[in-house]
Amino acid sequence: MDELARTDPLTVAERWKGEGRPVAIATVIETWGSAPRPVGSHLVVDAEGNFHGSVSGGCVEGAVITEALDIIGSGSPRILEFGVADETAWRVGLSCGGRIRVFVERLD
């Protein structure tokens, strides 16, 4: 297996699903201003809280993981939006302000 196959979040999601793990995928669908990850970035989460990839960083990433765990249980996809003022941006993981929207869905 090449390095990309080991590190690509979608490949990891496929592998985890094949192992019988419940999995959710978070995808950055929109950014405005400064954002740590571009549109199309993925984070994969399993029901045990293991994760691979990144959609942001800091507290935002933690919040996405928490929501993904809920979505694994409920099966209901969601769009999450995170936006912060410049003075609070660093603390919550958006290093220069901005806003991101993340779509989270269970992989069935």
Higher pLDDT, 12 or 85: 12
Predicted pLDDT of residue 69: 98
Average pLDDT value for the chain? 86
Full domain range(s) for residue 26: 3-107
List, for residues 76-85, the tens digit of each pLDDT value: 999 999 876 5
Domain count for the chain: 1
Rounded Cα gap, residues 65 and 26, in angstroms: 9
List, for residues 41-70, the tens digit of each pLDDT value: 999 999 999 999 999 877 788 999 999 999
Predicted pLDDT of residue 94: 53
DSSP per residue, the chain: --HHHHH-HHHHHHHHHHTT--EEEEEEEEEES--SS-TT-EEEEETTS-EEE-SS-HHHHHHHHHHHHHHHHH---EEEEEEE-HHHHHHHT-BTBEEEEEEEEEE-
